[in-house]
Amino acid sequence: MELPRRFPAGPAAVARLLLVLLMLVARPAAACTSYMVAAGASADGSVIIARNDDGEGAVSPSSLQYHPARQGPAVFRANLNQLELELPGPGLAYLSLPAGPLADPASGRNTSGEAAGVNEAGVAISATESIYNSAAALAADPLNEESGIIEDVIPSVILPQAITARQGAELLGQLVSQHGAGEAFGVLLADSREAWYLETASGHHWMAQRLPHTSFFISANQGRFQEVEEGRDGVLVSPGLRRFAVESGLWDPSSGRPFNFFKAFMRDGAAEANYCYPRVCLLQHMFGGCPAACNARVAPTFMQPAPARITPQAVMAAMRNHWDGTHHDPYTHSNPSEPWRPIALLRTGMGHVTVARPPSDDVPDALSVIMYAAMSTPKLSPFVPVYKSLPGDALPPELATATPEGELDRVSLFWRARRLQALVFQDWRALAPPAADAIVAWERQVERQERPAFEARYAKALRHKGKAAATQLLVEFSHRVAREAGALLDGLVGDTARRLGLPGVPSDDRLLQLLNQAAETYAFEPASDGDDNILRRDKAVWHGKGTAGASLFAPRAAATE
């Protein structure tokens, strides 16, 4: 059975693809987009953190895992470098979303590569947002790639310990100061009261800020902190940060210019012009009505939402954006050379929107944190609600199981979604809209009907029948929505195959081939800072000569859905 070929599929092309994939296996995620919404900026008083976890290729499966509480200390060994830590006991139980299996359990190393999670105390984390420190900052204080803190480590080390988001930021900062950072990163942390974001400045220096109560925050592979008043409540910094900046020639206080974290420590070259700034500009426009002509190479660190407060569904819509309705949309216009990187990528291994709600009579503690998980790229994968208290021995198989790279299974939402995506990319313009609309319609039904009804039943059972009866309802609801999501994807796969004029769904080998080809074609990898081609289009806009304005952007994500 042959599909209409929109990508080269001969033996030579496959061989080249395999070589590329082998070269990418050991590389960490290089590009994500992160979102944070404070309680006073969200529609219902929740704290929201979210991230598209963009990896390499499209075949590293994501899944849901549970880590039980432990009484004593534990030795943690990183998988991607030589870091070894002793974690104190007791350790909190937590749910996590690994970005793919990294090691054999027999190795004694971290096997999961967790990208996000939530613990039993209601602390949520997402790690990491890849950022880039300046060459001068790293020359003065190099990264500790051999045994420093990296993405492979952070959720696995912080979630067993942190009982508040602030404590999580403090713990992470202490680890960076002590062991060094193995890569530059930003990390999102939240609880039901507040959200914190930490950025590394160099090998051993960092800053963390609490998100202002009525603000939202966006990061897109670039440092975002600017002028910050150290010592005030809501700001944490590494010891001697300013002294290091002065002694290293990164900031001259005699110049009269205030200390600026971004200017002192972050890369801001040609590569960022098309890869980073447009995404921040787009999202600030969608959520805050920020003027849409992204001419300036600066953007506010924090913004207040306008005209309405932000919902989780608005964040989900933003995570699915690919410059919809503009000439920058690479998928609709079949333009893999589009210089403005879209938010929605095929190489997104997982997207999550974590919502932390203050416990109340209507929201028992067990239901206070929901981690909505889309296995693979959210554009063509449904967000499934996962509550923080879902028992570890009752995880839905659709979320908790996924076969290794290149072995498509029939159970996991990850591979069922990847089948759909492999087909949709054969004719995006015709096939993506109906599939994406069906996914959003299912999510809307869950949010408006199924989930509120479940929460009401849970609260009633907890009051009248006890925790065990309520927990059983939680398990049943979680399994039901996961099954529904799987059935939805299977139906869309069949429908998409028919729209392509095929007699049936292609074989898994053929689908995997198509998936890899599409992921390679539309990779949108970050360019090096010295890439001469990075400004090959839209250069005039960045220098204030373009005419791009509000009409460039798709309508703002609905904030009241």
Active-site amino acid positions: 32
- Quote the tokens at residue 155: 């959720």
Please report how the helices 508-521 and 11-24 are oriented relative to each other, as an axis angle in degrees rounded to 10: 70
In 3D, which of 457, 491, 498 has the Cα closest to residue 474?
457
In 3D, which of 6, 179, 145, 218 has the Cα closest to residue 76?
179
> 234: Cβ–Cβ under 8 A, 6 or more apart, which residues?
209, 210, 212
- Quote the tokens at residue 304: 């207040």
How many angstroms separate the Cα of 481 from the Cα of each of 339, 450, 476, 488?
38, 9, 9, 10
Q: In this structure, are residues 95 and 65 in contact, taking their beta carbons and an 8 Å threshold?
A: yes
State the Cα–Cα distance between residues 257 and 175, nearest whole angstrom.
31
Backbone phi, psi, residue 478, to 5°: -60, -45
Q: In this structure, are residues 553 and 288 in contact, taking their beta carbons and an 8 Å threshold?
A: no
* Distance, first Cα to last Cα, the chain: 42
- Is residue 374 within a helix (H) or strand (E), and if so which, with residue range? strand 369-375
Q: In this structure, are residues 188 and 371 in contact, taking their beta carbons and an 8 Å threshold?
A: no
Q: What is the DSSP string of 340-371?
A: S--S--TTEEEEEEEEE----SSS-GGGSEEE
Q: In this structure, are residues 502 and 3 in contact, taking their beta carbons and an 8 Å threshold?
A: yes
State the Cα–Cα distance between residues 139 and 17, nearest whole angstrom.
35
SS3 54: strand
- Quote the tokens at residue 82: 């030589």
State the Cα–Cα distance between residues 167 and 358, nearest whole angstrom.
18
Q: How many CA atoms, within 13 angstroms, populate the side-chain half-sphere of residue 118?
A: 32
In 3D, which of 396, 377, 394 has the Cα closest to residue 33?
377
SS3 277: helix
What region, left, alpha or beta, does residue 232 occupy, with left being phi > 0 and alpha being psi -120 to 50 degrees? beta
State the Cα–Cα distance between residues 495 and 489, nearest whole angstrom.
10
State the Cα–Cα distance between residues 395 and 474, nearest whole angstrom.
11
Q: In this structure, are residues 309 and 559 in contact, taking their beta carbons and an 8 Å threshold?
A: yes
In 3D, which of 339, 316, 315 has the Cα closest to residue 326?
339
